[in-house]
Structure 1
Amino acid sequence: MKKTISALTLLILLSANAFAQNTFNKLKLDSLLDVLAANNRRIASVAISQNGKIIYQKATGIAATGAPATVNTKYRVGSISKMFTATLIFQLIDEGKLRLSDPLSKWYPKIPEADKITIGLMLKHRSGLFNFTNDSTYATYFTQPQTEQQQIARFEKLPKAFEPDTKSAYSNTNYVLLGFIAQKVTGKTYAQLIKERIVNKLGLTKTYAGGAINPKKGEAQSFKYRNGWPPETVTDMSVPGGAGAIVSTPADLARFIEGLFNGKLVSDNSLNVMKTLNGNFGSGMFAYRFDGKTAFGHNGSIDAFNSALAYFPDEKLAVAICSNGGTFSVDNMLLAVLKIHFGQAYQLPVFSNIKLSDADLTKYTGVYGITQAAVKITVAKKDAVLTAQATGQSDFPLEPIGPNKFSFDPAGIVITFNTEKGELNIEQGGRGTIFKKE
């Protein structure tokens, strides 16, 4: 459920490739997925749809222990669920049962600043509601079933993050509450609303509000690679609710977003409101820019599941990725899929598979700065992988390729460390810049 939106933006800023439409190289996309799976960097399922027709599908890796993934494997999609929840809310607005101006206090008056927080502010992450998944108590209960009353009692105790409508900040709390409100307004469960108002209308067959993972029903488990693929800890789906409880496949996600943009779920006016950005956020969706093209969608992360969904209205193109394990960023994988689809130059990643000890990685970690600019690069360890993060951007994994040298192939980045001088040299496009450790 955490926010993971800006890696794609970073990579686009780093890329100077010109847009060119060429024949879609499906074999190259197959190779990308195969390379990532063979090197234990990402196991995933991908679907591409154009003009309402699926033109590409492929799945790699395992769905559950001992069971290979197929294109019909169903994955938890994390925060892509917010697009579904926002759709429900705008349907109720279209029907006159809700208004964007309705205050949160109408349903939950004891939540801090509830009288100042509106449905519209919650949809755009401008409510000031503290993100409950960042609270120190979250780790104590996220694997256990929770009632609405338990969740609300916690939300009432959380401090406000900021004054409502003074800025934007991603918060899962907004969409858990929106899911609860949709239930109160309709008298139906969230699962019923998803089925009746979205799934049945679009004829989706593999999408629903999830419960306990059941591999016998084709549901994927999530895994983190540790010299094998042991299952990851599982969130109880009563916890994320409207913020992250949807289970689906890439093909169904593509059909969902096509239906949304083709007027099958909400009015044109509501769709326009959903697409209108305030800061980084629309209502239940983000905007992606790819070489002058604009797409709308969302991404998701829950346990070791990661997902991405993007729709280009002008091209009538939908791209969906669902994954249940790996360290290769799904945002960067989305960028690679788009480059391959649109015929841009893209070099498949090459992995050295050099193994470094925890001590080896630790010596590189720290914050590196440069006097000529405010940008800093933070190098950290995550699950035995070295990552780099530029100021204001998402982190990306670094692949060891030699002594003190690492790369990030999707963006053509090579970082060389000089531990004696406390420096790193970041090279891209033939140019290098030295950052000093603070």
Structure 2
Amino acid sequence: MKNFITLLFLVSGILLHAQTQEQNKKLDSLFDRIDAKDLAMGSISIFSNGKEAYTRSIGYLDLANQTPANSNTAYRIGSVTKTFTAVVIMQLIEEGKLEAGTRLSAYFPQVPNSDKITVEHLLRHQSGLFNITDDEDFRQWMLSPQSREAMLKRMLKNGTLFMPAEKTEYSNTNYLLLSYIAEGIEVKRYAEIVKQRIIDKLALKNTFYGGKIVPEKNQARSYAHTENGWELTPETDMSVPIGAGAMVSTPADLNKFYWNLFEGNLLSRASLDKMKTIEDGMGIGLMKLPLEEYEVYGHGGGIDGFSSVVVHFPQEKITAAFTSNGSFYQIHNLLIGTLKIIMGQDYELPETSPTIELQPEALEKYLGTYSSPDLPMKINIYREDLTLIAKATGQSPIHLNAVGEDIFKEEQLMLKLTFFPAEDKMLLEQGGQKAELRRE
């Protein structure tokens, strides 16, 4: 019997190894196609039970010097930073240094509605505070160092959009304020707090608070895809986003962070459960992502030309992260394809619907900001040359293809937008779900 059990485990191990090899071949094939068509640059890592099972890098961290990206190349991760900030705040709450119900007025009484806004409202994007990165002059000041006083002044200028807890609407302002609160409690800079509480504890060797990008230190520059190919993008000064988007990391480090978070090595089970509790589509530093029958949590981010996404499957013990410094092909598409391969599902790059080329003036009637009381984010529709683009608050832009009169699609995301210009509305369809949005 003992020999039989040993043989059974041996055979199971061989089969599992063969299955993993086959999956890795499919993953290589997927990324080979993306790389060959020059659709994206970046790195991916997949963990199974806390150990890396697959890694791949494509493209360059520095195009000018033709320096290839590698598994230790560090990328700005944008709003994935919010998971780090949420963990810090939840730790402070566990330690009795802060309460979820603490009013913002205890720290920043000058902010509108501060006597009604709680820490939990900030964590869940329910404060009603204007998203500071939507400031009309944002692109003029985002490249220069900013003081806390200057940032607060802009928050006061833009005011509020709704009463606290009235609804959920993504706003970077919330996590900026949470950063300032943590700094006030700990009497340390945000960078030091995250280093002490998360980075050092988990030995994340390639994760740090961002600064001026140094390619010679294996830090990626970011690029935008244009008619002339990849073009270098300007660098946001990291004094601007702080805990809303200033961290730099690698896919492997992000996987390690998420794995330890969900294994209870950073927070109590009760705190993690609270982070996972979804209200109006939003958790605390986490979102629950729609992927067929699976339970999956994660967060995405975008800053300058960088995009990132990290997800964790608690039941399957799978964690996956992708960081990009240039993409003409949505990284969410890559992640969906990757996850389907991991889960043993059939996956091929789908054939796209025949597209229609429209002139710039024909796209003008669709432009504007659309919102719905049923969605936590607004969607900005704008154009770049002959391409219509959709950008949800805090998310990466999505390039749309015209497939019919007033109909646009992004096949990989299973996204369909139907416009009704005369009625100032738009129908969003994705993954079997529908939502009607009105133009503001």
TM-score, normalisation: structure 1: 0.80
Matches within 5 A, 1:95-106: 95-106=95-106
Change (3 A) 1:406 1:295: closer
- Check whether the contact 1:222–1:304 (CA below 8 A) recurs between aligned residues: yes
Q: 1:331 — aligned with what?
A: 332
- Structure 1, gaps ≥5 residues long: 1-21, 369-376, 416-425, 430-438
Question: Which shows bigger deviation, 334-343 or 114-123?
Answer: 334-343
Q: C-alpha distance in 2, partners of 1:340/1:329?
A: 17
Give the CA deviation at 1:228: 2.4
Cα 1:26–1:350 change in 2 (3 A) is: farther
- What residue is the counterpart of 1:53 in the other structure? 51
Q: Contact 1:361–1:386 at 8 Å: present in 2 too? A: no
Question: Greater share of helix residues, 1 or 2?
Answer: 2
Q: Which residue of 2 aligns with 1:296?
A: 297
- Bigger mean CA offset, 337-346 vs 32-41: 32-41
Contact map agreement 2:221 2:325 (CA 8 A) in 1? yes
CA offsets per residue over residues 266-315 of structure 1, 9 Å max, x none?
11111111111111111111001322111111000111111111001011
Tell whether 2:231 aligns with 1:230.
Answer: yes
Q: 1:40 to 1:405 in 2, by over 3 A?
A: farther
Please tell me whether the aligned partners of residues 300 and 308 of structure 2 are also in contact (alpha carbons under 8 angstroms): yes
- Provide structure 2 residue ranges, at least 5 long, that are not aligned to the other structure: 1-18, 368-378, 418-427, 432-440
> In the TM superposition, what whole-angstrom CA distance separates every residue of 1:397-426 from its partner, at most 9, and x where no partner exists?
34699xx999744267899xxxxxxxxxx9
Which of 72-81 and 144-153 deviates more?
A: 144-153
Q: How does 1:110-149 map to 2 (within 5 A)?
A: 110-149=110-149
- Secondary structure of the residue aligned to 2:179 is helix
Confirm or deny that 1:38 pairs with 2:40. no
CA drift at 1:31:
2.1
User: Matches of 1:408 and 1:191 in 2, distance apart?
Assistant: 37
- Aligned equivalents of 1:228 and 1:411: distance in 2? 24
Q: Does the aligned pair in 2 maintain the 1:298–1:309 contact within 8 Å? A: yes
Partner of 2:256: 255
Between the aligned partners of 1:127 and 1:405, the Cα distance in structure 2 is 34
Deviations 1:238-289 (A, max 9, x none): 1000000010000000000001111111111111111111111111110013
Shift of 1:94: 0.8
- Residue 315 and residue 163 in structure 1: after superposition, are their counterparts in 2 closer, same or farther (change >3 A)? same
What residue is the counterpart of 1:221 in the other structure?
Answer: 221
Q: Which runs of 4+ in 1 moved over 6 A?
A: 404-407, 412-415, 426-429
- What is the aligned counterpart of 1:385 among 384, 387, 393? 387
- Partner amino acid for 1:178? L
Question: Would the alpha carbon gap of residues 364 and 107 (structure 1) be closer, same or farther in structure 2, given more than 3 Å must change?
Answer: closer
* Secondary structure of residue in 2 paired with 1:225: strand
Distance 2:122 2:260 in 1: 24
The residue that corresponds to 2:435 in the other structure is: none
Match of 1:68 in 2: 68
1:36-435 matched pairs, under 5 angstroms: 36-65=34-63, 66-226=66-226, 227-348=228-349, 360=359, 363=362, 366-367=365-366, 381-382=383-384, 384-387=386-389, 396-398=398-400, 408-410=410-412
* Secondary structure at the counterpart of residue 55 of structure 1: strand
Give the Cα–Cα distance (whole angstroms) in 2 for the partners of residues 380 and 199 of structure 1.
Answer: 38
Q: CA deviation at 1:355?
A: 12
2:75 and 2:324 in contact (8 A); partners too: yes
Q: Distance in 2 between matches of 1:255 and 1:298?
A: 15
Matches of 1:148 and 1:378, distance apart in 2: 28
CA distance in structure 2 between the partners assigned to 1:405 and 1:134 by the alignment: 27
Contact kept, 8 Å, 1:48 with 1:319, in 2: the verdict is yes
The 3 A distance-change label for structure 1 pair 34 and 196 is: same
- Deviation for aligned residue 1:140: 1.9
Distance 2:194 2:430 in 1: 45
TM-fit CA distance, 1:32: 1.9
Structure 1 counterpart of 2:387, one-letter code: V
CA–CA distance in 1 between the matches of 2:102 and 2:289? 29
Instruction: Tell me the equivalent position of 1:14.
Output: none
Q: Distance in 1 between matches of 2:284 and 2:181?
A: 16
Q: Is the 8 A contact 2:81 2:246 kept in 1?
A: yes
CA displacement at 1:427 relative to structure 2: 13
Alignment: residue pair count: 387
Percent identity, aligned pairs only?
Answer: 41
Choose between structure 1 and 2 for higher RCO, CA contacts under 8 A separated by at least 6 residues. 1
Q: For residues 58 and 107 of structure 1, do their structure 2 counterparts lie closer, same or farther at Cα, with a shift above 3 Å needed?
A: same
Corresponding letter in the other structure for 2:129: L
Please state whether the residue corresponding to 1:247 is helix, strand or coil: strand
Give the structure 1 partner of residue 10 of structure 2.
none
Q: Are the aligned partners of 1:201 and 1:264 in contact in 2 as well (CA < 8 Å)?
A: no
Task: Name the CA distance, whole Å, in 1 between partners of 2:102 and 2:409.
Answer: 50
> Residue 386 of structure 1 contacts residue 398 of structure 1 at CA under 8 Å; is this kept in 2?
yes
Q: Given the superposition, is the C-alpha separation of residues 271 and 428 from structure 1 closer, same or farther in structure 2, using an over 3 Å criterion?
A: closer
Question: What's 2:425 paired with?
Answer: none
Which stretch of structure 1 is more off in the superposition, 86-95 or 34-43? 34-43
Q: Classify 1:412/1:101 alpha carbon distance in 2 versus 1 (closer, same or farther; 3 Å).
A: closer
CA contact (8 A) 2:286 2:298 kept: yes
What secondary structure sits across from 1:289 in the alignment?
coil
Please state whether the residue corresponding to 1:332 is helix, strand or coil: helix
Counterpart of 1:18? none
Alpha-carbon distance between aligned partners in 1 of 2:176 and 2:129, rounded to the nearest angstrom: 11
SS of residue paired to 1:318: strand
CA deviation after TM superposition for structure 1 residue 61, in Å: 0.7
